[in-house]
Structure 1
Amino acid sequence: MISYAVRRLAAGLVLALLVTAITFFLLSFSFDDVVLSLVGPGATPEILEQRANSLGLDRPVPLQYGEWLLGVVQGDLGVSYFTNEPVGAAAISRLTVTLSIVLFALVATAIIGTALGVMAATRAGAVDRVTQSVSLVGLVVPNLLLAIMLVYVFAIQLGLFPATGFTPLTTDPGRWLASITLPTIVLVIGGVAGIAAQVRGAMIDELRKDYVRTLTTRGLPTRTIVLRYALRGAAGPALTVLSLEFIGMFSGALIIERVFALPGFGTYAFNSSLQGDIPVIMGITLFSVLLVVTVNLVVDLVGGWLNPKARAL
């Protein structure tokens, strides 16, 4: 298992290196525009040249990337061109907001989606049809529309939750939970359908296998067979879909954050992209890739534990 984890981790680090290198190379085409936005449109060529020199943007691109990578190894992601705020600290504070929503939503999605999938697979007929219909709501209703509906009903009309804003957990746990409830519900409704459908299909395949019939003939209760044996066999494909759901939730957090006015990672990435804030964009790229790599590594390890044959792949 250790060598399996090391191989996956090494592949993830190589991916992070490639993605950040390509991103920096593409950003290099906008260096002149970034300098112009910093000094203003009326700046003389001399001022533009001095500003580019002070930022180090007039040096060869491979050298700039190498210096940035060296800073990353030393724990320094640079500072924002526009706010002089350290990129690492700023990104982590915004990432905390986004992950507090996404991780809650992911856990709820896994529990609800698995329950619906198991019910649909084991109870044919009306229960199966109703379960599938409920799970498909998330595919039909766009997240933006769903978020607006929830704000109107539960925040404006009923006043049960705040319509916008975020309260840190350390400030007030109750208000923090209230501030993430509606965004979490939006993500859960959007993600349940994929998990439920995958679990249902995988469970149906598992329940048709010979070992299930053998266990049934030995007199084991159906509940035990489904939850202890068949569900474990069906968990591998479901975990893959769950990792994709996490990536989808994380990348789609911008819409949720804009609707609920949350100071999250998506809003931070959007604003820095509009400004052309190169250190921030690079920091966001690095954090995003490492987060995806970490999630995939965890999924691979859990999948390898559930199915030892996967470790040899």
Structure 2
Amino acid sequence: MLLYVLRRLGTGVVLAVLVTLITFLLLAPSFDGVVGNRLGPGATPEAVRALKAELGFDRPLLVQYLDWLAHAARGDFGTSLFTGEPVAHTILQRFGVTMSIVVVALGVTVVISVVLGVLAASRGGAVDRATQGVSLAGNLFPSLLLAIVLVYVFAVELEVLPATGFTPLSEDPLQWARSIAIPVAALVIAGIAGLTAQVRGTMIDELRKDYVRTLRTRGISTRSVVLRHALRNAAGPALTVLSFEFITMLGGALIIESIFAIAGFGGYAFESSLQGDVPAIMGVTVFAVLLVITVNLAVDLVNGWLNPKARIF
């Protein structure tokens, strides 16, 4: 197992290097624009050359990238070209805000999806049709539209929840819950569509297998068969979809945070891209890649623990 984890981490590091190298090369043509934005339209050629030298943009691209990589390996992603703040500190601070929304949304999505999927597969009939209707509705309406509707209903009309802003959990737990209620709801409605369908499908397949019929002939209760045996075996494919949902929710946070004026990781990535803030964009890129690798590795390990047949280490 340890060898498998180390091999996956090594592959992840190589992938992160390749992705950041490609990102840096794609950003290279924008270096002149960054300098122009910093100095303004009336900048003299001497001022442009001086700022390029200060930022290191006058060096060969490979030298610039290797210098960045050496600092990044030590946890130093440089400072923002526009705010002057350390990129690593800002990312960690903003990421905490985003995770407080995404983790809650993911947890609620898992609970609702598992309950609906299991009920639909084990009972069928009207319950199954209602579950499929919920999944279809979640797929039809994008998170952006859901967020706008929820804001209008709960913040504008009913005035029971704030329309914008974020309150840290450490300051006021109740206000924190109120501030993330609508963003979480928007992510959950979109998230349960795919996960519920996956749980329903895999549970139906499991309940049709021979071992389930054998367990039932031995007098084991339906509840025990469904929850202790079928659900555990069906968890593997659902976990894979769950990892995709986590990454999708992180991407959806970019839109959600913009709507609700939340200073999170998605908003920081969006702002950095608009400004051409090279150190911030590089920091966001490597952090996102490592996060995806970590999530996929965690899913593989949990899947192997739940289902010995799926172990690959």
TM-score by length of 2: 0.97
Of the structure 1 ranges 182-191 and 2-11, higher mean CA displacement relative to structure 2 is found in 2-11
For residues 1-313 of structure 1, the aligned pairs below 5 Å read 1-312=1-312
Is the 8 Å Cα contact of residues 143 and 252 (structure 2) preserved in structure 1?
Answer: no
The SS at the match of 1:27 is helix
Q: Work out the CA distance in 2 between the residues paired with 1:242 and 1:264.
A: 22
- How far is 1:211 from its partner? 0.9
**What is the one-letter code of the residue matched to 1:211?**
Y
Is the 8 Å Cα contact of residues 120 and 200 (structure 2) preserved in structure 1?
Answer: yes
Task: Describe the superposition over 1:142-166 as per-residue Cα deviations: whole angstroms up to 9, x where unpaired.
Answer: 2111111111111122221111000
- How far is 1:221 from its partner? 0.3
Q: Work out the CA distance in 1 between the residues paired with 2:10 and 2:302.
A: 18
Cα RMSD after superposing both structures: 1.2
Is the 8 Å Cα contact of residues 236 and 307 (structure 2) preserved in structure 1?
Answer: yes
- How far is 1:45 from its partner? 1.4
**What is the one-letter code of the residue matched to 2:98?**
T
The SS at the match of 1:219 is coil
Unaligned runs of 5+ in 2: none
Question: Stretches of 4+ moved more than 4 A in 1?
Answer: none
The SS at the match of 2:35 is helix
Q: Work out the CA distance in 2 between the residues paired with 1:34 and 1:91.
A: 21
Task: Describe the superposition over 1:15-56 as per-residue Cα deviations: whole angstroms up to 9, x where unpaired.
Answer: 111111110111112111111111112112111111000000
**What is the one-letter code of the residue matched to 1:40?**
G
Q: Work out the CA distance in 2 between the residues paired with 1:112 and 1:288.
A: 27
**What is the one-letter code of the residue matched to 1:179?**
S
Give % identity. Answer: 63
Q: Work out the CA distance in 2 between the residues paired with 1:202 and 1:154.
A: 36
TM-score by length of 1: 0.97
Q: Work out the CA distance in 2 between the residues paired with 1:143 and 1:312.
A: 36
**What is the one-letter code of the residue matched to 2:123?**
R
Is the 8 Å Cα contact of residues 4 and 311 (structure 1) preserved in structure 2?
Answer: no
Task: Describe the superposition over 1:240-291 as per-residue Cα deviations: whole angstroms up to 9, x where unpaired.
Answer: 0000011111011111111111111111111111110000000111111111
Q: Work out the CA distance in 1 between the residues paired with 2:138 and 2:173.
A: 29
Is the 8 Å Cα contact of residues 121 and 201 (structure 2) preserved in structure 1?
Answer: yes
Task: Describe the superposition over 1:158-216 as per-residue Cα deviations: whole angstroms up to 9, x where unpaired.
Answer: 22111100011121111111111110010000010101100111011111111111111
Is the 8 Å Cα contact of residues 113 and 195 (structure 1) preserved in structure 2?
Answer: yes
Unaligned runs of 5+ in 1: none
Aligned length: 313
**What is the one-letter code of the residue matched to 1:120?**
A
